[in-house]
Amino acid sequence: MDLGEGLRKAIAKLSGATIIDARTIREFNKELQRALISSDVELNLVMALTGKIENAALKEKLPDGISPKEYITNMVYEELVNLMGKDYSPEIKPKRILLMGIYGSGKTTTTGKLAKFYQDRGLGAGVICCDISRPAAYEQLESVAKQAGVGFYGIKGGKDVKEIVSKGLEELKNKKVIICDSSGRSGMDAEMITELKEIDASFRPDERFLVINADIGQVAGRQAREFGSAVGINGVIVTKMDGSGRGGGALSAVNESGAKVAFIGTGEKLADLELYDSKKFVGRLLGMPDIESLIAKVNEAAKSVGVKEMTDINELNFDMFYQQLKAMSKMGPMKNVLGMMGLADVPKEMVEGGESKLKIYESIIGSMTKAERNDEKLVRNPDRIRRIAKGSGRTEKDVRGLLNDFNRMKKIAGLMKNDRAFKKNFSKFAGMK
Ligand SMILES: Nc1nc2c(ncn2[C@@H]2O[C@H](COP(=O)(O)OP(=O)(O)OP(=O)(O)O)[C@@H](O)[C@H]2O)c(=O)[nH]1
Ligand SMILES: [Mg+2]
């Protein structure tokens, strides 16, 4: 069970509660503890958090007009945000960045992701291979750099990091952001530290990041401390947040160590890098809509299929609706998209149902005339419904279903800016409540 699922399960227990009594809060806390501990959050932190919740929930009077569930969810949200740290916003300016970390933590992949991150923001980027330990390190980074479309420098078989750095800086002198990838080892050792210090002295980085695999959970705290005192770090990049059940443990431990989480890696692809924002992270875990990320994703997908930006919701017609459906299918798996909408625990059948619904609607809209696509009122005519159903090989009920959804979408789009209303209405739209 992942952390989000556990937390939402705990919160679901409060659904029917009309008052917060000691028993309710204890049962809730037990679930909360189980979820956090199974995600490898340090025991002391877990106990402190649930203790705080118990105290506050039993002492404070419930404000008017708010349910126990809303009240406690909000408290858990605030406490988890504290536990998981802050947000990070890097300065978008020329700089040198050094990445370090133990073997296999994701340094080389992240070097490429970061280079792309800055290049996408208008700063030409280049990477230097200072991994002199692993045989294929040169080729791997070269290929990553090529994919990212950024500059690359390395010396195949080279063993002198000082030489690599000075030649690399010369070669990449036209690049605004330069990122240096370094060797990994199975643990912190004297050789690694010496090598890092040598790179550090000639590369003179503005930022040093420790790359950590989320799988190591609370050990991340110790690692951040060790690298911090041996070489000095400006922050931590936690990778493999997509596959690890221990991400919560890693994030909270890094925060506890006093280091900052700067980015998180959420997949193997170059685009799978996110600026860390504990509010967003916790919000997603608790099933709160992440409208900002959703809108960014929608815009990105819309751009990729050439959808015209809609300025007035009344302009929405079937052509646009069709384009939007196409864009939606480019936004990635329905499950992730629903997660951002705050609907993380939608049953599997419904997710699949949603996916096949898109296909049905595509075929129905494909059978409409141009006039019908522009004017939804025409499609309300029973003769036309019959004809469109026949032409698309669908039922008349399917066509009427599309009309309903189209109209609901029109209403919802108008409400998109208001989180709560959006969530409520989206749930209605998707027939989930
Ligand atoms: N799912 C997932 N996989 C990742 C992520 N980041 C890296 N990986 C994968 O993890 C593996 C190791 O990544 P590398 O970038 O080679 O790690 P490294 O730290 O450079 O490894 P060494 O150079 O051997 O120390 C690769 O298979 C990557 O594709 C991530 O955020 N999510
Ligand atoms: Mg590497």
Q: What is the pLDDT of residue 306?
A: 64
Q: If we measure between CA atoms, which residue out of 103, 385, 359 comes closest to residue 216?
A: 103
Q: If we measure between CA atoms, which residue out of 207, 293, 212, 289 comes closest to residue 255?
A: 212
| Structural domain includes residue 90 | no
Residues 107 and 238 in one domain: yes
Three-class secondary structure of residue 210 per DSSP: strand
Residues 389 and 278 in one domain: no
CA 367 to ligand 1 centroid distance, Å: 47
Q: What is the pLDDT of residue 2?
A: 82
| Structural domain includes residue 320 | yes
Residues 261 and 347 in one domain: no
CATH code for the domain in which residue 19 is found: 1.20.120.140
Q: Which of 268, 284, 300 is the last residue of a domain?
A: 284
CATH code for the domain in which residue 345 is found: 1.10.260.30
Q: What is the pLDDT of residue 320?
A: 79
Q: What is the pLDDT of residue 432?
A: 40
CA distances from 168 to 164, 211, 383 (A): 6, 22, 71
Residues 154 and 28 in one domain: no
Q: What is the pLDDT of residue 1?
A: 58
CA 289 to ligand 1 centroid distance, Å: 29
Q: Determine if ligand 1 sits within 6 Å of the CB of residue 105.
A: yes
Contact 238, 255 (CB under 8 A): no
Q: Determine if ligand 1 sits within 6 Å of the CB of residue 143.
A: no
Which string of DSSP letters, residue by residue, matches 3-47?
Answer: HHHHHHHHHHTTTT-SS--HHHHHHHHHHHHHHHHHTT--HHHHH
Residues 150 and 259 in one domain: yes
Residues 130 and 273 in one domain: yes
CATH code for the domain in which residue 262 is found: 3.40.50.300
What's the domain count of the chain?
Answer: 3
Residues 210 and 299 in one domain: no
| Structural domain includes residue 88 | no
Please give the Cα distance from 72 to 51 (Å, whole number): 13
| Structural domain includes residue 42 | yes
Residues 393 and 333 in one domain: yes
* Tens digits of pLDDT across the chain (433 residues): 589 989 988 888 888 788 888 888 999 999 999 999 999 999 999 999 999 999 988 887 777 778 888 888 888 999 999 999 999 999 999 999 999 999 999 999 999 999 999 999 999 999 999 999 998 999 999 999 999 999 999 999 999 999 999 999 999 999 999 999 999 999 889 999 999 999 999 999 999 999 999 999 999 999 999 999 999 999 999 999 988 889 999 999 999 999 999 999 999 989 889 999 999 899 888 887 766 666 666 666 666 666 655 556 667 788 877 777 777 766 766 666 777 776 666 666 666 666 677 788 889 999 999 999 988 889 999 999 999 999 999 999 999 989 988 887 777 666 554 555 555 555 454 444 3
Residues 237 and 101 in one domain: yes
Residues 197 and 331 in one domain: no
Q: Which of 255, 284, 313 is the last residue of a domain?
A: 284
Three-class secondary structure of residue 261 per DSSP: strand
Q: Determine if ligand 1 sits within 6 Å of the CB of residue 119.
A: no
| Structural domain includes residue 63 | yes
Contact 364, 335 (CB under 8 A): no
Please give the Cα distance from 198 to 161 (Å, whole number): 7
pTM: 0.77
* Ligand in nearest proximity to the CA of 109: 1
Ligand 1, atom nearest to 113 Cα: 6
Please give the Cα distance from 281 to 267 (Å, whole number): 15
Ligand 1 mutation pick, 239, 264, 275, 276, max ligand atoms within 8 A of CB: 239
Please give the Cα distance from 172 to 201 (Å, whole number): 18
| Structural domain includes residue 89 | no
Residues 324 and 380 in one domain: yes
| Structural domain includes residue 234 | yes
Q: Determine if ligand 1 sits within 6 Å of the CB of residue 185.
A: no
Q: Determine if ligand 1 sits within 6 Å of the CB of residue 108.
A: yes
Q: Domain range spanning residue 21?
A: 3-83
SS3 content of the chain, % helix, strand, coil (to 5): 60, 10, 30
Q: Which of 256, 284, 312 is the last residue of a domain?
A: 284
| Structural domain includes residue 360 | yes
Q: Determine if ligand 1 sits within 6 Å of the CB of residue 107.
A: yes
Residues 10 and 25 in one domain: yes
